[in-house]
């Protein structure tokens, strides 16, 4: 059968971020896929998401680093991860410190082989957030030979995610290889429920005997449970002639020599970025598994991910008193109270300046999705904590010092910005996402640690403070 690249999507690809396993240079992988005319491409590195943002930007890039226009059209990025699933579904007991303990070996006697694989994909921004959470917790809490998650944790953070059955190391395929069809079917049904129907079975064939043996069973499970089956390639290098280089990379990861007969070795050089026609040559008698790739790719809302990552301001939620409708109302109240407190309550110039600045904050929110209200409230909060703890806090500097509003919020202090005709408008330059930095207040590391630690304990902002100031 004739099959065009525009009708196929690679859902299983590894880059150089798959440590000592993936050979693909990220930029070259994306550019090759764009040149070949694929409509979308997924990145599923082993156990980490370090390459996802670069991958997204490479897929959308219109000019190269030298400013030359890229002739190939942008490609839809599918942000994914090939996760490791713990055999014993109790992630807490498998910390890195305990990885060599007797308890760990008892609970997972087959060691690293017990870390089953599962591909995860962000369908929207919520899915991307859950992907980040799972990746972080796999490294922080679930590390045992590999960064792992468990079924319970996955179930808690499955919203917005799509799942795939991955390679032979998946629990479904492992059961099929051992003749346990009903167990494999049960596992597939469980995963379908966890992902709310957004789950697919992967079939791949690179010449490995076990892959060929289980393909009919995979299609049978898909038909019985109404789960789509996708042809995937498990891409580890871009060109076919790069297989030896990838084998050398694997030798490095396992401390083996290239001449060692016990090294990890594949008899076939088939783990490269194949064309749709090459995929059709393998799975031509199952055309649905080829067409299903574009069908599943259409479920991915990359625009939602990009909008939330790069549009507007990304801020943590800031709790405000119940009597206020939104952060802007609370900000206004604090500002007018502050105007009286600093002694400018009867000054027409200061009153008009504050009105103008508050109106600018409102316009920025309504027109450009810049939530300066929450932003200022958070900055005011951590500066207040720093002062209460006796940390050194400077008066502020730069264009932010020109603000009457920031003075009323006790973010800045010192000379009167109206008296010296300082320009507030310069502060709201919408070409940057970072408006106030710790160095504007003379913060040293001690000050930052005091304010950040105190805020973390009270407001659970640990993962979000990076969006407020820079370190």
For residue 219, the domain's CATH number is: 3.20.20.140
Measured CA to CA, the distance from residue 80 to residue 42 in angstroms comes to: 6
Query: In the prediction, which pLDDT does 94 show?
Result: 41
Nearest to 31 by CA among 79, 82, 3, 65: 65
Beta bridge partners of 162: 121
CA distances 134 to 17, 87, 155, 310, 358, Å, are 17, 16, 11, 22, 39
Measured CA to CA, the distance from residue 414 to residue 28 in angstroms comes to: 54
Same domain, 96 and 147: yes
Query: In the prediction, which pLDDT does 2 show?
Result: 83
Same domain, 92 and 38: yes
CA atoms within 13 A on the CB side of 448: 16
Same domain, 359 and 290: no
b/e burial code for range 88-119 (CB count within 10 A of at least 16 → b): eeebebbeeeeeeeeebeebbeeeeebbbbbb
Same domain, 139 and 195: yes
CA atoms within 13 A on the CB side of 417: 27
Same domain, 267 and 370: no
Measured CA to CA, the distance from residue 345 to residue 350 in angstroms comes to: 8
Beta bridge partners of 78: 42
Residue stretches of the chain with pLDDT short of 50? 89, 91-102, 430-434, 439, 448, 451-452, 460-471
- Residue 259, number of CB atoms within 10 A of its CB: 7
- Residue 284, number of CB atoms within 10 A of its CB: 13
Query: In the prediction, which pLDDT does 465 show?
Result: 40
Give the residue from 309, 339, 356 where a domain finishes: 309
Same domain, 195 and 107: yes
Q: Which domain holds residue 197?
A: 5-309
110 contact partners, CB below 8 Å, separation of at least 6: 87
Q: Which helix (H) or strand (E) holds 201?
A: strand 199-203
pTM equals: 0.77
Beta bridge partners of 84: 117, 148
Query: In the prediction, which pLDDT does 464 show?
Result: 44
Same domain, 303 and 319: no
Same domain, 317 and 182: no
10 contact partners, CB below 8 Å, separation of at least 6: 33, 38, 41, 42, 232, 233, 235, 273, 293
- Residue 363, number of CB atoms within 10 A of its CB: 13
Number of domains in the chain: 2
Same domain, 301 and 318: no
Nearest to 122 by CA among 299, 327, 286, 315: 299
Query: In the prediction, which pLDDT does 444 show?
Result: 53
**Residue 298 phi/psi, 5° resolution?**
-70, -20
Same domain, 119 and 202: yes
Query: In the prediction, which pLDDT does 81 show?
Result: 96
Give the residue from 309, 334, 369 where a domain finishes: 309
Same domain, 50 and 152: yes
Give the residue from 274, 309, 344 where a domain finishes: 309
Same domain, 337 and 288: no
CA atoms within 13 A on the CB side of 109: 1
Nearest to 148 by CA among 247, 242, 68, 81: 81
**Helix 52-60 vs helix 302-310: angle between axes, to the nearest 10 degrees?**
110
Helix runs in 68-147, H state only: 102-107, 125-140
158 contact partners, CB below 8 Å, separation of at least 6: 130, 194, 195, 196
What percent helix, strand, coil does the chain show, rounded to 5? 50, 10, 40
Measured CA to CA, the distance from residue 458 to residue 63 in angstroms comes to: 45
């Amino acid at each position: 059968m004739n099959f065009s690249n525009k009708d196929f999507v690679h859902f299983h690809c590894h880059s150089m971020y798959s440590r000592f396993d993936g050979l693909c240079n990220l930029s070259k992988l994306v550019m090759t896929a764009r040149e070949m005319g694929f409509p979308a491409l997924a990145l599923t590195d082993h156990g980490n998401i370090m390459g996802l943002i670069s991958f997204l930007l490479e897929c959308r890039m219109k000019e190269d680093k030298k400013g030359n226009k890229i002739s190939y059209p942008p490609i839809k990025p599918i942000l994914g991860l090939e996760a490791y699933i713990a055999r014993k579904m109790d992630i807490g007991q498998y910390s890195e410190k305990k990885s060599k303990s007797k308890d760990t070996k008892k609970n997972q006697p087959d060691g690293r082989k017990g870390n089953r694989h599962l591909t995860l994909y962000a369908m929207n921004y919520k899915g991307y957030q859950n992907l980040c959470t799972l990746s972080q917790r796999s490294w922080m809490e679930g590390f045992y030979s590999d960064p792992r998650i468990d079924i319970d944790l996955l179930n808690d953070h499955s919203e917005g995610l799509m799942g795939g059955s991955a390679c032979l190391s998946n629990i479904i395929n492992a059961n099929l290889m051992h003749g346990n069809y009903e167990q494999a079917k049960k596992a597939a049904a469980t995963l379908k429920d966890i992902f709310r129907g957004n789950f697919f079975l992967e079939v791949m064939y690179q010449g490995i005997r076990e892959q060929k043996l289980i393909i009919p069973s995979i299609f049978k499970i898909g038909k019985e449970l109404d789960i789509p089956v996708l042809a995937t390639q498990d891409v580890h290098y871009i060109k076919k002639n790069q297989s030896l280089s990838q084998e050398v990379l694997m030798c490095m990861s396992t401390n083996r020599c290239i001449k060692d007969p016990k090294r990890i070795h594949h008899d076939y050089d088939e783990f490269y970025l194949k064309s749709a026609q090459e995929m059709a040559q393998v799975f031509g008698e199952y055309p649905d598994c080829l067409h299903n790739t574009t069908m599943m790719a259409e479920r991915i809302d990359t625009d939602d991910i990009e909008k939330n990552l790069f549009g507007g301001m990304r801020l943590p939620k800031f709790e405000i008193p119940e009597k206020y409708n939104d952060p802007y109302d609370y900000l206004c109240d604090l500002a007018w109270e502050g105007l009286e407190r600093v002694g400018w309550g009867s000054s027409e110039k200061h009153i008009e300046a504050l009105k103008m600045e508050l109106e600018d904050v409102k316009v920025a929110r309504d027109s450009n999705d810049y939530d300066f209200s929450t932003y200022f409230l958070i900055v005011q909060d951590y500066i207040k904590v720093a002062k209460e703890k006796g940390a050194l806090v400077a008066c502020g500097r730069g264009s932010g010092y020109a603000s009457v509003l920031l003075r009323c919020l006790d973010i800045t202090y010192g000379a009167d910005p109206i008296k010296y005709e300082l320009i507030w408008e310069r502060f709201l330059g919408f070409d940057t996402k970072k408006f106030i930095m710790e160095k504007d207040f003379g913060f040293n590391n001690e000050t930052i640690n005091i304010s950040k630690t105190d805020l973390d304990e009270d407001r659970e902002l640990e993962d979000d403070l990076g969006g407020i100031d820079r370190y």
